[in-house]
């Protein structure tokens, strides 16, 4: 495996592991790094009234951790593993391009507020894009 591919795998793994860890923290009841669950909801789902439940947040955490293992090469280099990494990379890049408003609408949540849209443009979209491109590029045979 080339150096670039190794770095891409590390970036993909680290990004999804961090996302999984954050969601696990939130699912356990902590609003960190926000000061309250209301502020956290405004920042991550765009509304102070729509708060995902712990079960749904644990599912996201688990999915991110599983995705991190796949991104790191945990399923090997077979055709299915490579296709799965490509699909993951494509999905994350699509989220970066489409933006949080599309994601909020797809989850049938209330329209996102100004704070969420600002964070989405400044942080979420670039991170989704970076992680998606890393995973996609690591899927090359």
- Residue 108 is predicted with a pLDDT of 86
**Domains in the chain: boundaries:** 3-138
What Rg do the C-alpha atoms of the chain give, in angstroms?
16
DSSP letter string, 29-64: T--TTSSSHHHHHHHHTS-SS----HHHHHHHHHHH
b/e for 42-80, b at 16 or more Cβ within 10 A?
bbbbbbbeebbeeeebeebbeebbebbebbbbeeeeeee
| Highest mean predicted confidence (pLDDT) among 5-9, 42-46, 66-70, 135-139 | 66-70
52-62 pLDDT per residue, tens: 889 999 999 99
92-104 pLDDT per residue, tens: 999 999 999 998 8
Percent of the residues in the chain that have a pLDDT greater than 70, as a whole number: 99
* Residue 1 parent element (H or E): none
54-89 pLDDT per residue, tens: 999 999 999 999 999 999 999 999 999 999 999 999
Lowest-confidence pick of 23-27, 36-40, 87-91, 107-111: 107-111
Q: Would the pLDDT of 48 be above 90? A: no
């Amino acid at each position: 495996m080339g150096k670039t591919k190794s770095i891409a795998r590390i970036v993909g793994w680290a990004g999804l592991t961090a996302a999984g860890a954050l969601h696990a923290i939130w699912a356990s009841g902590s609003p960190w790094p926000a000061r309250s669950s209301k502020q956290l909801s405004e920042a991550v789902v765009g509304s102070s009234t729509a708060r995902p439940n712990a079960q749904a947040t644990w599912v996201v955490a688990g999915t991110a951790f599983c995705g991190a293992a796949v991104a790191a090469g945990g399923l090997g280099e077979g055709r299915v593993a490579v296709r799965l990494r490509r699909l993951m990379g494509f999905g994350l890049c699509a989220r970066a391009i489409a933006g949080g408003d599309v994601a909020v609408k797809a989850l049938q949540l209330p329209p996102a507020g100004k704070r969420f849209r600002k964070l989405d443009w400044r942080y979420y979209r670039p991170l989704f894009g970076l992680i998606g491109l890393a995973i996609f590029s690591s899927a090359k045979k």
